[in-house]
Amino acid sequence: MGVLLLLLLLQTPAAEALMEPEFCYILDAILFLYGIVLTAIYCRLKFLIYRESQQGATKKGLSSEGQETYETLEIKSS
């Protein structure tokens, strides 16, 4: 279906006006925008993962696991 549609679009006179350079410029612009969007999504994902790991480390530091209880001080008399 998609191939048939592409062939029909290439047969129209308007498609002849978009042959070499103009068609390439349009594809370059689409690929450029696609790259920007994917880079933004990737950076956002990395930032969210980093933030989650930082919050987990902070919560881990506040937990009582692995912490020793208070020890009593012995007063030495001299």
Mean pLDDT, consecutive 10-residue segments, the chain of 78 residues?
68 61 88 97 95 79 61 75
Residue 40 within a domain: yes
- Backbone φ and ψ for 59, nearest 5 degrees, come out as -65, -35
> How many residues appear in the chain?
78
d(C-alpha 5, C-alpha 71), whole Å: 80
How high is the pLDDT of residue 20?
A: 75
Model pLDDT, residue 64: 57
Name 18's Cβ contacts closer than 8 Å, sequence gap at least 6.
Answer: 26
What is the per-residue pLDDT for 34?
Answer: 97
In a domain, 32, yes or no: yes
Model pLDDT, residue 66: 55
Asked, for residue 50, whether it belongs to a domain, the answer is yes
pLDDT for position 39: 98
Question: Is 38 contained in some domain?
Answer: yes
In a domain, 48, yes or no: yes
Q: Which domain holds residue 49?
A: 27-57
Task: Please state the φ and ψ torsions of residue 22, each to the nearest 5 degrees.
Answer: -65, -40
State which amino acid sits at residue 47: F
